[in-house]
Structure 1
Amino acid sequence: MIKCISVSLILLVLLATTALSAERVRIVVDGLEGRPLENVRAALRLPEGMVKPDGEIDKGMLDQFRKGIPDQVQEALQPYGFFNSRTEVFVQTSTEGTVLRVVVEPGTPVTISSVKVTIEGPGTYETQLQELVRSFPLKKGDVLLSDVYEKAKADLQSRARNSGYLDADFPVHKIDVYRTKGIAEIELSLRTGNRYYFGDVTFLGAPKYPDSFLRRYLSFKKGDAFSYLNLNKTRLNLYNSDRFREVFFQTDKKTAKNQDIPVVINLTPSPEKRIKTGVGYGTDTGARFLVRYQDVNIIDRGHEFRSELNVSERLYGLAGAYIVPSGKDFRSFTALRLSFLRETPVTYESNSVSLELNRERGFGENSQGGMFIRLLDERFTIGGETTSSFLVLPGVRLYGQRVDNLIRPQKGYRYAIELRGTDTFLGSTVGLFQVVSVGDLLFSLPGRLTLLLRSQTGFTFQRQAFDEVPVTLRFFAGGDRSVRGYSYQSLGPRDANGDVIGGKHLLFGSVELERAIGNDWGIAAFYDAGNAFDAFTNITFAQSAGLGIHYYSKVGPFRLDIARQVNTPSPATRIHFIVGIFI
């Protein structure tokens, strides 16, 4: 024990001595700012051994280091166009230590007198390559910036290789600098070489999945220009299918025949049958629990069955779906979904059964849409009245999203639009037509800020009495994801007794500004406004503002918002807390 304490004390003394000795020599740089200053500071590192553990400075090493400083400064400034800098080094010694004061006169930066960028080989007239040549970022008269040059050069080569010219290189790549004249000449020539194409594709490791099913995930076809970018898209498609744990590609241009490169895709399937559970809490729903069962390869055809049980204080739901993939692409499918739902918020009670058949396909890279027909049988109590309704509800929907990070996005968008309608001649209790939409826009701002804009809209057009419209097709506002500061679905038109009964239309908007704190935390300020209503001539927007603390974890976000009602005679404050963990 005594030996351990002694060793620890010795280590502490050595660390303290090292820290003190490091402080005995300081380097101060004058005459520069911004990135040139940062680069010079990074280049001027004290050599090891110059300051001994006892704090004594090796005078010989110090003098040698001092003499080399002008050359180090010159080299560090050249990437920013300064080739004629002058540097003086002054050594100042005091009882506090030694200071190397480096005074730099960077001089006038070198400017570009001529730029010659050319393409040779079979890809000379490729439109994308010629566009990069025309938009080459360094022009005559610009300051010579090495990082800009290197990035433009790398972009040109990358574009060529992603267009199938895998042997693309630069037989000529030079910058001639004339220091006395203060000018530079750039000459860059890209040689494309022959173009390669995708050849035959072979899948290995997943014999239970039909070959035609697997080919849906390919982002290329035989005969397309070979592109590593498309290989990466294919890898992402296969991973996102939630069917494969590992995806590896084997491609070698040495095996190419007539410039066609064969592709071998090695797959390691995930378990076909799986159960996942999740827990969470929301001010709207209270504590909630979820169980999901999936079988992603029914009858070895890639068909999927999924069922889901949701239980919370105010919502009970059980749903099952059978999904048949289309041979067109991996985002096209036909699904049959049966669900049972019981909702008991403060404003109403609803029990419903629905059966929906829908056909969907992908539109572009980030959008999905299709047609559906839904049979809805609902019994509900609202405003003291109990009603039953049956609807045959056809419709169309379009939705999509794109974010830069799934755990903590900094920019992106999300939207969903649905048009649905029915009439009594279809066997429905009531006729109506509705247009419903939700949308989020997320912007990245300077200072680690993000701006989130949210909207929800709903419009109903009908001729029959509104009291027969199922409560799940009426519009309400208020809650964690609506106008905060108000309880869940507590806003909307009221009956003669003052009970909220839901409205024909909905308008809602929100602005939220968040400042990132560290990697996982954020503080936010927000403003919400919206309401449900029956007539455009009688709209009263409920408003709220507040602050929030957000934590972003890998298993789900944690959000704590405190909202206060605005422009109301007796404003109330409400806490909204949302947490979700999925295993």
Structure 2
Amino acid sequence: MPVRPFAAEQVEVTVSGVEEALHKNILARLTIYLHRESERLQPNTVKRLHRQAEEDIRSALAPLGYYNPVIKGILSKIKDGWHAEYVVDKGPPVRVEEVAITLAGAGRDNPALLEAIADFPMNKGDILNQEIYENGKKKLVNLAFGEGFLDAALPQRALRVNREKNSAAVHLVLDTGDRYLFGKTTSDQQILRPDLLNRYLPYKEGEPYKPAKLFELQAILYRTDYFSKVAVRGQPERAADHAIPVELDLADPEHRNKYGFGLGYATDTGARGKIDWANRLFNSHGHKANATLQLAERENIISFLYQMPVLKDPRYYKVVGAVSYQDKNWEDTTTKLFTSAVSLEYAAPVYKFGTGLELRDELYDVGDTSGDSTLLVPSLNIGFIAADNILETKNGLQASLGFLGGVDGLVSDVNFLQATLNGKGVITPFDNWRLIGRGSMGATLVDSIDSLPPSLRFYTGGDTSIRGYRYKSIGTKDPSGAVIGGRYMVVGSVELERVVYKEWSVATFWDGGTATDDLSLNFFQGVGAGIRFRLPFGQIRLDVASAVTEDDTPFRVHFTVGGDL
């Protein structure tokens, strides 16, 4: 006959007298609590764990600065097992009376290390917390590594606690050792010319070795889109005279040519089809090429761009050559525009700059008039963008200012100067609420608007300007009533958006503005509401707007897709 095992004892454990952080740490160390539901728990074991409880509680309180607690423990037999109760008086805290940190070695005057010592997370008068102390030590050593002191160590480290006086003293010596430098950067790749590859390096040979620069370089090279694989390896084991060589392992792009095909619809352009071709690496000089063909109801485009990285920082500087042909029609206007341009562009994460020269030839019909315009147009553009996320912006601001013009007799057939200012801001005042504002202003110095082709005149109305109105339906009108555009433009918009469910949101908005041939500000206004659906590349927006300044307040539907800024 098998022997029946003893039934397991059940233990209820309560701890009182301390705040949440201390209570949590006590339960994490209290053995009788951790084994309270063990199937092997017997009466003798319960009593032994109860005797051990006081030491467990002391060991839980000491790291948080309480070395002299008074603990009262009671173990009682109850109907279904045992009840263990511990009343804790944590006692006075141990406070830090002294923090002495000394720098030694080649980094004794390093600004980053001196600042870190000044900001050490434990100060005189603080309650001793050993976790904060340990994290502070690790941060100092890790920072020294990051500054190139790879032999850094704490040869002297002491935390002295006086239990009788409830005081503690911290004494640390950080010996940085010698500083390591960047050595030669090598790669056996045949993808880019070595002189171009070296211009992407965020460091120079002989500069202090910082491991973070290796991660930065890896991100830079991936963003070029030239490589399918990027591995950046510092080799401290091969250091000579404290110079650490760096090795790059780079692989060719899997597909140098990318193709895109798409169908879409926007209320400004109508239904459209689009074909894109992009060559991400045309040659070892890092040149790129791409072409686009778009066929739409009201806007046909064919374009070709050729990009070349230039100057000392090819991450941000490039020369762009472009040719394009555009065939557009709206309202009472048709235009056929051929352009050929070259520009120098600077595009950093925040600031943008561009200057260029463009040859434009445009045939057009506007209302009852026709024209043929040839212009040589120099341009200058500056701007910035600051946002937490470009595609899913919670808070951000974007602005740009552009100038272009032409000189009669210098290829151009008219004298003119044009300036445009654009801006957009997004703020999130409350969770799930966004306030979005945008504005544009433009002005042209020219003798007559009839001297300029439609592509350089100002119009408003449509999906991205004043909703409730047709695309480019607002502007100066000729005697026949045809909209011919204007020399001046002002547009503003305010939108309030509310997330209602996951990727879905609703919005209400006001748009206003005008495009005129004089300085009158007779604003056209549209108000409405819409729904939004968030995708990885931006939002799908469907809006219904009313042109409230028109007599019959007509309604229009607007459909757009894109990022927030």
**Shorter-chain TM-score: which interval?**
0.7 to 0.9
How far 1:564 moved relative to its partner? Answer: 4.9
CA separation in 2, counterparts of 1:36 and 1:71? Answer: 15
Aligned with 1:238 (options 221, 224, 233): 221
Q: CA deviation at 1:124?
A: 1.0
Number of residue equivalences: 549
Match of 1:114 in 2: 98
Greater alpha carbon shift after TM alignment, 98-107 vs 459-468: 98-107
Q: Which residue of 1 aligns with 2:310?
A: 326
In structure 1, how many angstroms separate the alpha carbons of the residues matched to 2:298 and 2:27? 61
Report the residue type matching 1:333 in the other structure.
K
> Matched residues in 2 for 1:77 and 1:479: separation?
67
Q: Shift of the alpha carbon at 1:307?
A: 1.1
Corresponding position: 1:335 with 2:299: no
Q: How far apart, in 1, do the equivalents of 2:504 and 2:545 lie? A: 20
- Compared with structure 1, are the counterparts of its residues 558 and 335 closer, same or farther at alpha carbon in structure 2 (3 Å cutoff)? closer
1:533 aligns with 2:515: yes
Residues 209, 301 of structure 1: 8 Å contact kept? yes
Match of 1:560 in 2: 541
Are the aligned partners of 1:475 and 1:532 in contact in 2 as well (CA < 8 Å)?
no
Q: What is the Cα deviation at residue 197 of structure 1?
A: 1.1
- Cα separation, 1, equivalents of 2:543 and 2:347: 39
- Shifted more, 246-255 versus 24-33: the winner is 24-33
Secondary structure of the residue aligned to 2:409 is helix
Give yes or no for the alignment of 1:50 onto 2:22: no
**Gaps spanning 5+ residues in structure 1: where?**
1-23
1:434, 1:458 within 8 Å by CA — same for their partners in 2? no
Q: Is contact 2:382–2:400 with CA below 8 Å preserved after alignment?
A: yes
**Which amino acid in 1 is paired with 2:37?**
M
Decide whether aligned partners of structure 1 residues 538 and 268 sit closer, same or farther in structure 2, where only a CA change above 3 A counts.
same
Asked if residue 521 in structure 1 is aligned to residue 506 in structure 2, the reply is: no
Structure 2 partner of 1:248: 231
For 2:451, the equivalent position in structure 1 comes to 468
**Residue 217 (structure 1) shift:** 1.6
Gaps of 5+ in 2: 1-9
In structure 1, what is the Cα distance between the partners aligned to 2:23 and 2:366?
70
SS at match of 1:217: coil
| SS of alignment partner, residue 130 of structure 1 | helix
Name the amino acid aligned to 2:305. Answer: A
Residue identity in the other structure for 1:521: E
Equivalent position of 2:4 in the other structure: none
Once residues 185 and 129 of structure 1 are traced to their aligned partners in structure 2, the CA distance between those partners, rounded to angstroms, is 21
Percent sequence identity over matched residues?
Answer: 26
Tell me what 1:221 maps to: 204
Aligned to 2:6: none
Write the letter of the residue equivalent to 1:163.
E
Q: So what's the TM-score if we normalise by structure 2?
A: 0.79
For the pair 1:164 / 2:148, whether they are aligned, the reply is: yes
| 488-497 vs 299-308, which moves further | 488-497
Q: CA deviation at 1:481?
A: 3.5
Residues 1:207 and 1:571: Cα distance change in structure 2 (over 3 Å): same
Deviation of 1:340 (Å): 1.1
Shift of 1:242: 0.9
Counterparts of 2:145 and 2:323, CA distance in 1:
49
Please point out which of 180, 186, 199 is paired with 1:196. Answer: 180
Q: 1:259 to 1:276 in 2, by over 3 A?
A: farther
Partners of 2:238 and 2:260 lie apart in 1 by 43
* CA deviation vs aligned residue, 1:25-76 (integer Å, no higher than 9, x gap): 9999887778777777888997589277xxx998888888888888777777
TM-score of the superposed pair, with normalisation by structure 1: 0.77
Deviations 1:155-181 (A, max 9, x none): 544443332222333334454455665
- For residues 133 and 482 of structure 2, the distance between their equivalents in structure 1, rounded to whole angstroms, comes to 68
The letter of the residue matching 2:317 is S
**RMSD after superposition:** 4.5
Distance 1:385 1:196, change over 3 A: same
- Number of the residue aligned with 1:372: 356
Amino acid corresponding to residue 341 of structure 1 in structure 2: Q
Shift of 1:198: 1.1
